[in-house]
Amino acid sequence: MTQIVTGDNYTLYPGDCQDVLPGLADASVDLIAVDPPYFKVKDADWDNQWDTPAAFLAWLGDIADQWQRVLKPNGSLYVFASPQMAWHVEGVVRERFNVLNHIHWAKHDGSGAGTGGHSKIEKESLRCYFPQSERIIFAEHGYSDQVADDIAGFTEAETGLKRRIFGDYLSTEWKRAGVSYHKITGAIGAHGEHNHGGAASNWALGLNVPTPDQYAAMREYLNRNYNHGGDYLRQEYEDLRQEYEDLRQEYEDLRRPFNATPDAPYTDVWTFPTVGTYPNKHPCEKPLALMEHIVNLSTRPGAVVLDCFMGGGTTGHACARIGDRHFIGVEMSNRWFRIAARRIADAARAAAGQPKQITGHVDDFDGLPLLEMTQ
């Protein structure tokens, strides 16, 4: 049996994920990004070990049960699937998770022509449209934001904090000036046509807080019209907000991260180029940029990322390049485990500014230097 390989930020398990996953702790993983077998799409034993779609889906369901157990309440799940089986795979995921998106990875070969391999197909033999895309099922635990709310007690705590920090202070200052809620609201233009004093009342109750401009307008109004021996609203707005923001950050840390920006693909159609041919390329290898996108978008620093169909190690490579993530990889093929282990170890060293280094004995496996693992 090949040894477990570990580094500062990765743990790699050889073997069947059905044997490895039960050993992982409950709610210990922040992101699961997996590319399971497709079912009779690739001409390889690992993709043809089931006689029927039902048998394949039952197998995948058993593994998805483990995903459900190890994923944190605020974690994310990405599952790659072939166009032929995506609808069925999504059904397996949907039974256990809240499916958020059915992402279409529109494949092309990087040439600019967008061929994705279909230029070599004999079009006349097709009886349906050529599948030039791959599906990615994106999901979360059900009601993950509600879980965060329950853990943090955010709704109740937020209202109490607003009332204590803003509401009580404002009410004291208005009382000291002898000004009514209605008058202060009208004086700074904080109410609408039918909001008779409602803005100030809501601030006092902790239902919301004034904006910086509204706070400044209140300060100017009170000090101009009611300065009876002291400045009003002497506390700075940002100082008042600080404790509230600390609680809000606590809540945000409990929510499922989704770090979308206009500079990164944030729609449900992705156009990452496929991986070109090179020695020891995995037949299902995903682009490094695509996996980096997933890790960046759905994790925070310190996250644990799991890929229990590690293949050639792209997800672990992505985690090493991004940094401050711990990668857990599982791969049952000894050949691909060794290739992935070498790739991830080298990526981790490169990220740390260290040269590639072969530790211990070295094989030459299809021209690729590999760690020699205990058999």
Q: What is the CATH number of the domain that holds 137?
A: 3.40.50.150
Domain annotation covers residue 229: yes
Domain that holds residue 214: 149-254
Report yes or no on 176 lying in a domain. Answer: yes
Q: How far is CA 193 from CA 44, 130, 186, 199, in A?
A: 70, 59, 10, 12
- In this structure, the answer to whether residues 127 and 16 fall within a common structural domain is yes
224 in any annotated domain: yes
pLDDT for position 24: 96
pLDDT at 57: 95
367 and 227 fall within a common domain: no
Closest CA to 137 of 88, 98, 177, 79: 79
Together in a domain, 138 and 270: yes
Give how many domains the chain has, as a whole number.
2
20 and 128 within one domain: yes
Q: Which of 235, 254, 273 is the last residue of a domain?
A: 254
How many separate helices (H) and strands (E) can be counted in the chain? 13, 11
Instruction: Note whether residue 348 is domain-resident.
Output: yes
CB 339 within 8 A of CB 312: yes
What percent of the chain is modeled with pLDDT above 70? 82
Buried-exposed string 246-275: b where 16+ CB fall within 10 A, e elsewhere: ebbeebeebbbbeeeeeeebeeeebebbbb
- pLDDT of 30 over the 70 cut: yes
Is a pLDDT exceeding 70 seen at residue 195?
no
Which amino acid is present at 207?
Answer: L
Q: CA 182 from chain center: how many Å?
A: 46
* 44 and 101 together in one domain: yes
Residues 293 and 332 in one domain: yes
Q: Please give the pLDDT value at position 230.
A: 63
Contacts with 228 (C-beta within 8 Å, 6 or more apart), sequence order = 177
In this structure, what are the phi and psi dihedrals at residue 275, rounded to the nearest 5 degrees? -85, 130
Assess if residue 259 is contained within a domain. no
Domain shared by 273 and 235, yes or no: no
- Listed residues 202, 233, 254: the one ending a domain: 254
Give CA–CA dist 372/375, Å, rounded.
9
Residue 312 CA to residue 176 CA, distance in Å, equals: 70
Closest residue by Cα to residue 305 from 75, 40, 113: 75
- Whether pTM > 0.75 for this model: the answer is no
Three-class DSSP category at 26? coil
Distance CA 201, CA 310 (A): 57
Average pLDDT over residues 216-235: 82
Better-predicted residue by pLDDT, 47 or 343: 343
Residue 239: the pLDDT is 79
Res. 362: pLDDT tops 50: no
155 in the same domain as 136: no
What pLDDT score does 121 carry? Answer: 61
Is the pLDDT at 171 greater than 80, yes or no?
yes
Let me know whether 43 and 185 are in one domain.
Answer: no
Nearest of 23, 57, 63 to residue 39 by alpha carbon: 57
Last residue of a domain, one of 192, 226, 254: 254
Residues 157 and 133 in one domain: no
Grade residue 374 by pLDDT with cuts at 50, 70 and 90. Answer: very low
Q: Does 286 fall in a domain?
A: yes
pLDDT at site 38: 86
Average pLDDT in the chain = 83
- Are residues 129 and 66 part of one domain? yes
Please, how many CA atoms are within 13 Å of residue 364, restricted to the half-sphere of its CB? Answer: 1
- Residue 260 lies inside a defined structural domain of this protein: no
186 band by pLDDT with thresholds 50, 70 and 90: confident
Q: How far is CA 206 from CA 151, 167, 171, 240, 266, in A?
A: 21, 6, 11, 13, 35
Q: What is the CA radius of gyration of the chain?
A: 28
Which one has a higher pLDDT value, 8 or 132?
A: 8
Least confident range from 8-17, 121-130, 271-280, 332-341: namely 121-130
pLDDT tops 80 at residue 172: yes
Handedness of CA 274, 276, 277, 282 (dihedral sign): negative
Looking at residues 124-135, what average pLDDT do you find? 78
Of 85-94, 242-251, 299-308, which range is least confident?
A: 242-251
Is the same domain home to 236 and 208?
A: yes
Cα separation of the two ends of the chain:
5
Q: Does residue 190 fall inside a structural domain?
A: yes
pLDDT value of residue 118: 52
Q: At what angle do helices 314-322 and 288-298 cross, to 10 degrees?
A: 60
pLDDT computed for residue 36 by the predictor: 95
Q: Of the ranges 36-50, 160-174, 275-289, which is most confident? A: 275-289
